[in-house]
Structures are given as structure tokens and as C-alpha cells.
Amino acid sequence: MNLLDYDFMRRALLAAVLVGITAPAIGIHLVQRRQPLMGDGIGHVAMTGVGLGFLLHSSPVWMATAVSVLGAVLMELIRWYGKARGDIALAMLFYGGMAGGVMLVNLTPNGSNANLGSYLFGSLTTVSPADITAISILAGFVILVTLGLRRQLFAVAHDEEFARVTGLPVRALNLLTAVTAAVTVTVSMRVVGLILVSALMVVPVAAAQQLTRSFRATFVLATVIGVAVALGGTTASFYQDVPPGATIVLLAIGVFVLLTALAAPLARRRARAAAAAVSPEAAPLAERAIPAARSTADGVGA
């Protein structure tokens, strides 16, 4: 029994690869700006979109995209203007989004929350050809943004105040990060499900940074881990009839535990190497600073 013999499995595996790339690619920026649970919030809001899709008999993927993008923009606005009461406003948004989804599905003639289940926890057999088209277009957008603007998004997520003084459009880039995260949620929801989307944005990044020292290496390793666990979970789900989303997330957590165990001796070795490098460093600092200074000084004076 070859899993590539089935059309629905070919679609599911393609969707899994796209999810494995896009979720960590935007997730790294959410982790960087210390908002790792933002994807979770967007996932809740997206449920209203799925419910609307059922009720209006239109594609739940596109509806969920529209509603979660709107929700993400609202979240950013709350972050700017909400100040101390922002957390309460976000809670209203998240739980309102979830409750709205459940209610809309119930209002749908012959709709039941069983239909909602496949969106909450992911389902391979329900990825339709139309879904694959939508997922591919949306994933393309996410990859374009996260690769094309990686330096700008890094600067803004790393230090917003500094980024403002470089003249970057900080608010627009923050909005773009939020919108991209929202799009990623809907890319992922067919395979991983809305409840577990956020895990695939955060866990591969957390796992990767057990080993890495640079942002670039973390980005590459996190997407490699993301693709590996998404493919692994999808395949396991085909052969063992286990839910794909849960399998993918448990695999990702397994990778995190494994890399954390591997990282401890690596960190010790690096610490020893760093300690050996520190001692001869202090003395020649001033000398080293002088020749390099001249070229910059020319630039400054111009």
C-alpha cells in the first residue's frame, strides 16, 4: 500500500510540506518578539471564519483567511493603543472568535460541530483540490514575505525602538508580520488544525535554537524540522489512523526534547572554548580599534 497512490494523500503531503515551511518561517519572528502565543490567538479567531464559510457555503479556507487577517490587524491595533487594558481586549477577541465559530456552525442547516472538528484538529482526507490551490497561493505569500523581508522583519522584531531610528516603517512591518501569521494559520489549519497551529510555529523554532547560535541557522533548521515532522506526522496518520495534527505536534515536541538533550554537552564545549578565548582578549583592544576607525571616520565626515 503506497501512500502516493492516493490523490488525497498526495495533496495532504504537499500541504504538509507547505505547512512545515511556513509555520516556523513566520513563527521565528513571533518568538523573536516574545509573542509566541500570537498564532494561538489567531487560530481562535479563525474559527469564526470557518463558521462563516459553512453558513455562507463558501470556501472555509478563504473565509478563515479573511477573518483571521482582520483579527490579526485588530490584535496589532490593540497592541498599539490598548496599553494596560490590551490583555482584556485580546481575551475578548480570542474567545469571541472561538464562540462565534461554534455558534455559526450550529446555525448552518445540517451543520454540526463534527464538521468543525476537521478544522480544529486537522484531517487529511478532507483536503480538496480547491483547498490545495488556496493553500499553495497563501503559502507562496508567506514564503515571499519571510524570505524577502527577513532583515527588516528581524530588525523590527529584535528591537522595535531601534528599528524606528533606522527609518523603517515599523508599524507597517508589524502589521505585515501579523497578517502573515494569520495567513499561515489558514495554510496550516487543514493539516494541523486551528487548535495546534501555534505549536508548529513555535516548537520547531524552540527545538532549533537548542543547537544554533545565529538567526539564519535557526531559521533554516526550524523549517527543516517543520517539514520533517509535518511529513512524518502525515505519513504516520495514513498508516496508523492517528490524527495528523496531534501526531505532528507530538513529533515536534519529541525533536525538541532530543535536541535539548544533545545541546547540553555542546553548550559545555562552547563555554570552554569561549573561556579559553576570553583571557588574551582585553589587552590589544585599543590597538585593534585604531586602524579600523579611519575608514569609518572618512564616511562620517563626508
Partner 1 sequence: MPVVALRGVHAELGARPVLRGVDLAVRRGEVVALLGANGSGKSTAIRTLIGQVPATAGTVELFGTPRHRFRAWARVGYVPQRAGAAGGVPATVAETVASGRLARTRFGPFRAADRAAVHRALGLVGLADRAKDTVTALSGGQQQRVLIARALVSEPELLVMDEPLAGVDLASQEVLATTLRQLVASGASVLLVLHELGPLEPLIDRAVVLRDGRVVHDGPPPRTADGSLPYGHEHHHPHAGDGADSRGLPIR
User: Would you tell me which residues interact with partner 1 (CB under 8 A)?
Assistant: 28, 31-34, 36, 149, 151-152, 154-155, 157-159, 161-168, 205, 209, 212-216, 218, 270, 274, 282, 285-286, 288-293, 295-301
Q: Are 234 and 259 in contact (CB under 8 A)?
A: no
Identity of the residue, 34 or 57, whose beta carbon is nearer to partner 1 in the bound complex: 34
Dihedral sign for Cα 236, 241, 247, 251, please: negative
Shortest separation between residue 125's beta carbon and partner 1, angstroms: 36
Identity of the residue, 130 or 217, whose beta carbon is nearer to partner 1 in the bound complex: 217
User: Whose CA is closest to 203, among 246, 256, 259?
Assistant: 256
Instruction: Report the C-alpha gap between 142 and 163 in whole angstroms.
Output: 22
Shortest separation between residue 171's beta carbon and partner 1, angstroms: 12
Shortest separation between residue 218's beta carbon and partner 1, angstroms: 5
DSSP code at position 84: G
Q: Which residues contact 253 (CB under 8 A, 6 or more apart)?
A: 199, 203
Helix, strand, coil shares of the chain as percentages rounded to 5? 80, 0, 20
Instruction: Report the C-alpha gap between 223 and 208 in whole angstroms.
Output: 9
Cell 501579523 locates to 178
Shortest separation between residue 155's beta carbon and partner 1, angstroms: 4
Identity of the residue, 216 or 268, whose beta carbon is nearer to partner 1 in the bound complex: 216
Shortest separation between residue 15's beta carbon and partner 1, angstroms: 26
Identity of the residue, 4 or 283, whose beta carbon is nearer to partner 1 in the bound complex: 283
Identity of the residue, 165 or 264, whose beta carbon is nearer to partner 1 in the bound complex: 165
